[in-house]
Chain A
């Protein structure tokens, strides 16, 4: 089976790259870290991209704002325009929003907390999973534990924007209950209209294996701790979608 190539992008301040690479590899992708000091043109040879979590450029100005202006993101934006897959996780999602890759959607400070929140949450697949590459292998209603870890993860925008997102079924992942960060429409993950770019605020890569989530689920006791957990399916969907496309030249 073909093993698609994925660049896991590391900006200064990114802190989740190692687990993101492992999650990609366990899904059958050839993933490697792509450092900020490398030549951005090299990115064009990859089949897909993951912008990992953390605090790129210290989240100066706004979370993700500086990285969004980097030559690396400029190249990724161009490649996304050709249909390549781009997954932004937490800070990576903030970068995508700042880069305008989701349309007029922004990520604002968590409400009502006004501060960083770190907790396990349940995320549920919405009604049209097949419209987004990263959920395309999942059924509507599929629930996944993920680790929420951010201070500015509240998806927000005008009512008209969200009306359109709903109409186009772009909110492919929602918090199971009330959004802990106050996100509009309980949005946890929003894809672009083409479905090849996903901005996901909670971290699937921190809840990707049984050992990550068994503490809250006695049913997983005794299971192989390194078995993929529910959230790993985001990476599995990515791998499946990449396999279904032509490899990058």
Chain B
């Protein structure tokens, strides 16, 4: 094929390393000299400026997964429940039937860590905005979001406190305005996130399974129109993907700000509704279409991937792109990451209807200056990606080279363990404080205390489909369609205290806990999505952490066999966020996992709150002596000391499978009336939260038997505060036999640990606290931060 680029080319061939580095700096290209040479070699000539920028984005870690791709192959990705697996804008799981229609639940997970550290409000808001488009572009109605957050310790007046506050405000401002309820989320405060916060976001959608739209040009799509929809293109976010793939440097904060996009939830709200109208029309006319979010690399990234995934090429006319300002260079228009834009590939006969819906019926040009739907190019049968601007052809490259995967081999090296590592404090070291004092301290620990002051910034009830709002149970639940009974549960997990000790175990624990959380409301776990937050992959230790994290995810997801055919729990989507470190430190390796669960009857779900007096409480999961990474240890010892991975609570997958199956079945049968998983703060905190309930106003107390009776092999403090996984369940006092029968069927061996009732939390021989005192300790710590 003859090469017809008419734009000026960059002098790459024959240049020295030094000259290429200078060139990259001058052109603000995040490319190494080797990568520049590789581009020239692959396209057979020196690249134009636009081509170099296009490759810099496509080959960024953010877009290419060049470091993580080989590792991710270890994750299970298939099961009977998977409708669309990894590789499109979002994955889709079989959700169930509602009012005679079979639905899929669309699952996407993203991070917006660097932008949120630099400008927390806008950074966090655009993180929400981006993920909503990923879900929307599968043809789905966007129905829920969840926000896993990791901040530095929020000392009053600190920058970490500012980030923790403003990021939540940004999430709330965006999600509340577009009307997507917040269903779940978590927040941890850990010093390793002081200069590099983590703002991950999960979003869910629902779509009738015969209406799924794919992120690719459909077969026979050559000749289709490419229609750009949304906000007028400006220079905002130019270089965003490259920015996401750099180590944060505080001194560059100012220049990095221009790489952060500007959120517009108001326009998004209209775009979503207009797109729903288009979905109806697509369905009514039976046309085949492709639809893709504009994220990293803007028009270029989206159009080249949409066409390439369909085995086609594309031609883009830059002059046809609606712009917000004149005079932008073509490569900026092509690659800017202006928010609130999407790209359709539609047959030309459908184009007038598409333009009418967005521009006339939903009046996009009146909603935001120069926002509109506009034809900006064509899908071609030639396997080339071509961009023209005026009389110039600024990009003309083989499309599979630009869109295709690249892999960069990385070196993994475990950190050397400091000589004389200190074992965790022995149980006797906790005895200086009474168990009552420890419980009160645990309840007000930043990783344990009530998230209510934060959660109440979010709209959890918009759409009128919420069944369990965030904060009331281990997972949030929504109904798929009113009038039906099917629902979906969602939970997120990932413990940074564990990540710092063992990236592998932390990741594995995150998978199992996410599945437990979903089960604790009575939902069947059906799939996972992950966001892998790690440091610079060029650093062998950070790369080792990443590889260990993925190995842990794979181990746990393969070990959980919860559906009827006994298949592994599949990952259907995910995100990799590397370079999460600052000059000061690397973050705690953080594999953050979300689990989606299927609810057959939303009338049967339970929360963590106790429902009646005189019911027996049962414990699933025997207590073990392991205390590393626990809140107990964080409260009582110097957290920075080294502990060995073997000191973390072990994962007993057989126990997890049996317990999870039993809890789901027992909730479905109506014999378990409340359930809560044991995590931060251990069993004592778990039982207390069951008394207090989501809003802290619960009035039913508990009396637990002496720990010696249900955890004879560990000390009382470890039994009460150790974080070995498990559940506590309230069993209907009239249905204990039925409960035991269900447990026998799944192989679970719950132990009776106490009884509900009274207005105090009592543990025979150790703890005695009134519910009011416990509620005060639990409810108040975050009030000031989120006032």
A binds B: yes
B244 to chain A, nearest CB (A): 28
Interface of A: prevailing SS: mixed
Q: Is A120 a contact of B461 with CB atoms below 8 Å?
A: yes
Given the known interface contacts A37-B363, A209-B482, the answer about A18 and B463 at a Cβ–Cβ threshold of 8 Å is: yes
Stretch of B67-75, B176-184, B421-429, B529-537 lying at the A interface: B176-184
**A184: Cβ under 8 A from any B Cβ:** no
Residues 447-469 of chain B, each 1 if its beta carbon lies under 8 Å from chain A, else 0: 00000000111111111111111
Q: How large is the interface on A (under 10, 10 to 19, 20 to 34, 35 or more residues)?
A: 35 or more
What 0/1 readout, one digit per residue, does chain A (18-38) give for beta carbons within 8 Å of chain B? 110011000000000001110
A208: chain B residues within 8 A (beta carbon): 464
Neighbouring B residues of A215 by C-beta, 8 Å: 467-469, 472-473, 605, 607, 694
Residues 57-80 of chain A, each 1 if its beta carbon lies under 8 Å from chain B, else 0: 110000000000000000000000
Least CB distance from A196 to B in Å reads 25
Q: Is the beta-carbon distance between B461 and A211 smaller than 8 angstroms?
A: no
Check A149 against B469 for contact (C-beta < 8 Å).
no
Contact residue among A15, A58, A119, A214 (Cβ-Cβ distance under 8 Å from B462): A15
B361 / chain A contacts, CB cutoff of 8 Å = 35, 37
B610: nearest residue on chain A (CB-CB)?
A: A218
**A54-B179 contact in complex given A35-B361, A214-B467, C-beta closer than 8 Å:** yes
Given known A22-B482, A55-B266, A215-B472, contact A147–B461 (CB-CB < 8 A): yes
Check B461–A203 contact: CB distance below 8 A.
yes
Q: How far is the CA of A4 from the CA of B266 in the complex (A)?
A: 32
Q: Mark A215-244, 1 if CB is under 8 A from B, else 0.
A: 110100111111000000000000000000
**Residue among B461, B601, B611 having the largest count of chain A Cβ atoms under 10 Å:** B461
- B164 smallest CB distance to A (angstroms): 15
Number of chain B residues whose Cβ lies closer than 8 Å to a Cβ of chain A: 54
Indicate if the CB atoms of A222 and B269 lie closer than 8 Å. no
Query: Is residue A156 contacting chain B, with contact meaning CB distance below 8 A?
Result: no
A141 to B: closest C-beta gap in Å: 21
**Interface pair A119/B466, CB less than 8 Å apart:** no
Q: A55-B177, A149-B176 are in contact. Are A22 and B266 (CB under 8 A)?
A: no
B600-641 CB mask vs A (1 if < 8 Å, else 0) is 011111110001100000000000000000000000000000
Residues of B within 8 A of A81 (CB): none
B611 partner residues in chain A, CB cutoff 8 A: 218, 221
Kindly state whether residue A104 has any CB partner on chain B within 8 Å: no
Count A/B pairs, Cβ under 8 Å: 135
B466 and A116 form a contact (CB under 8 A): no
* Cα separation A60 to B169 with both chains bound (whole Å): 18
Which residues of B (464-506) have their CB < 8 Å from a CB of A?
464-469, 472-473, 479, 482-485
Task: Check A115 for interface membership: any CB of B closer than 8 A.
Answer: yes
CB of B461 within 8 A of CB of A207, answer: yes
- A173-222 residues with Cβ-Cβ distance < 8 A to B are 203, 205-212, 214-216, 218, 221-222
Rounded to whole angstroms, the CA-CA distance of A17 and B73 in the bound complex is 43
How far is it, in angstroms, between the C-alpha of A226 and the C-alpha of B99 when the chains are bound? 12
Contact between B464 and A22 (Cβ–Cβ < 8 Å)? yes
Given contacts A12-B367, A13-B270, contact A116 B603 (CB under 8 A): no
Chain A residues positioned under 8 Å from B430 (CB to CB): none
Residues of B within 8 A of A16 (CB): 179, 462-464
Chain B residues with CB under 8 A of A130: none
Given contact pairs A15-B269, A205-B464, a sample of 13 additional A-B residue pairs in the complex whose CB atoms are under 8 Å apart: A23-B464, A54-B177, A57-B266, A113-B787, A119-B456, A149-B459, A206-B461, A206-B466, A212-B466, A215-B468, A215-B607, A216-B472, A221-B611
17 CB < 8 A contacts A-B: A12-B366, A13-B269, A16-B462, A16-B463, A18-B463, A19-B464, A22-B464, A22-B482, A37-B361, A116-B172, A116-B176, A118-B176, A118-B459, A119-B456, A211-B467, A214-B467, A225-B485
Which 8 pairs across A and B sit closest by C-beta, in order of nearness?
Answer: A15-B179, A19-B464, A147-B461, A58-B266, A225-B603, A206-B461, A218-B611, A206-B464
